[in-house]
Structure 1
Amino acid sequence: MILPFDFQNDPFLLLDFTADNPELADLDLTNTAVFTDYVFGKIRQAGAVAGVGGYNEHRVIYRRSPHFNQTEESRCIHLGIDLWAEAGTPVFAPLDGIVHSFRDNNNFGDYGPTIILEHVWNGKPLYTLYGHLSRPSLTGLQVGMAVKAGQKIAELGPFPENGDWPPHLHFQLMTDLGGHQGDFPGVCTLSERERYLAICPNPNQLLHIPGLN
């Protein structure tokens, strides 16, 4: 459990941010307040405790930010799982580990405050990334600090400090950070898809959310 919900029993809503969702075509995604009203309106309408966005999803919502469109090929493949919940929702470590690195990635559409933990899982190194946190979540952190499974490590941040997104947690696994500190791509291009999926396993191996691949 990384948020205070039981996804096996509590109602949640799968949110579709692909081109298959016609509602996105008329939504001003650059207006974070409008985007937030849309996301949480859907969650409330469904009577859900949280929203969930999928791994390896080909999304259209990244058109909202130049952060994902800095080269000829735009980034559009989501490499983590998103858990959409109110700002201030606590975030818990899923495994024992240490703080690898942290940073405030303060750009429109970026992660905002971000923490990366380092673990040993099945005898191999594994890194977990937590994006879109509150700024106070970074206070007092030190590289190498020990973290226990189930320990509160952060809280979801409000916009605009969370990278200017509707409040949610971007949770991602990596087996190789490639030298990154406090940051790692959470979205890749279509041409990079296989390379990134090879080092970013499906986070649902840890979350066990029903209905997700």
Structure 2
Amino acid sequence: MLVEALLKITDCYVLEASIPYEAYCPIDLSPESELLTTLQPKTADDYIKAIDFHLKRNHAQVAFGGYMERRNLYQRSHLFNENPVNERNIHIGLDLWINEPVAVLAALDGEVMSVQNNAGFGDYGPTVILKHILNKCEFYTLYGHLSLESVKDLQTGQKVTKGEKIAILGEPSENGDYAPHLHFQLIQSLGDYVGDYPGVCKKSDVAFYQENCPDPNLLLKISK
């Protein structure tokens, strides 16, 4: 029911709307990625250079991808690899990479569910979760890796409108130590989580998260 409602939405942006989707290009950050194999980035600065290289090579402004993508980059943080046999390495949101402090926009009309700084190496950093109701379906959108200063005035329960600026992308020093990007995720049920929700899962949990967190591109329609 939610998926059908999402498919009917048009003209939906979560990054600066003046950048059209024609200026976006896909990016592969899986272990098989030609980009990562060639450049072998390890630090946030390395990834910034890799993203810049990829964008220039593709004559693009934003690189997007990552939904249900297996990645090794989370091996840097103990948050994801406490159990090496069954580590969390499958990304369940959509990443939008741009090395500029651009505006982050509300995907749809809704209200602020939470604003929380999930601080720590490898975490989201400043995170906003919005609640929406679409065709009687209640669900949530999560925006991670934001600027702390840009979210300081957001209040729980605050109403937002589709396309309204809610934040700015954060730098590595405050966004969990990543190259600047937006982690955007759809969530049908938050369960017991408040201010946070997993953005990376174990292989054994893929079926659950794929059901609870539909592909964000169903809403954004960056690629048809």
User: What TM-score do the two structures reach when normalised by structure 1?
Assistant: 0.92
Structural mapping, 1:113-192, within 5 Å: 113-192=126-205
The residue that corresponds to 1:87 in the other structure is 100
Deviation at 1:175, TM superposition (A): 0.5
- Percent identical: 42
The residue that corresponds to 1:38 in the other structure is 50
Q: Is the contact between residue 51 and residue 98 of structure 2 (CA under 8 Å) also seen in structure 1?
A: no
Structural mapping, 1:19-34, within 5 Å: 19-25=31-37, 27-29=40-42, 31-34=43-46
Q: Is the contact between residue 41 and residue 47 of structure 2 (CA under 8 Å) also seen in structure 1?
A: yes
Aligned partner of 1:148: which letter?
Answer: T
Aligned partner of 1:57: which letter?
Answer: E
Aligned partner of 2:179: which letter?
Answer: P
Output the aligned Cα RMSD: 1.4
SS at match of 1:83: strand
Q: Distance in 1 between matches of 2:101 and 2:182?
A: 11
Q: Distance in 2 between matches of 1:41 and 1:105?
A: 29
Q: Deviations over 1:126-168 (max 9, x none)?
A: 1000000001122111110111111100010111211110000
Moved over 3 A (4+): none
The residue that corresponds to 2:6 in the other structure is none
Q: Is the contact between residue 125 and residue 145 of structure 2 (CA under 8 Å) also seen in structure 1?
A: yes
User: What TM-score do the two structures reach when normalised by structure 2?
Assistant: 0.88
**Aligned residue pair count:** 208
Which residue, out of 20, 39, 44, partners 1:6? 20
Instruction: Name stretches of at least 5 consecutive residues in structure 1 with no aligned partner.
Output: none
Q: Distance in 2 between matches of 1:182 and 1:193?
A: 22
Aligned partner of 2:52: which letter?
Answer: F
SS at match of 1:102: strand
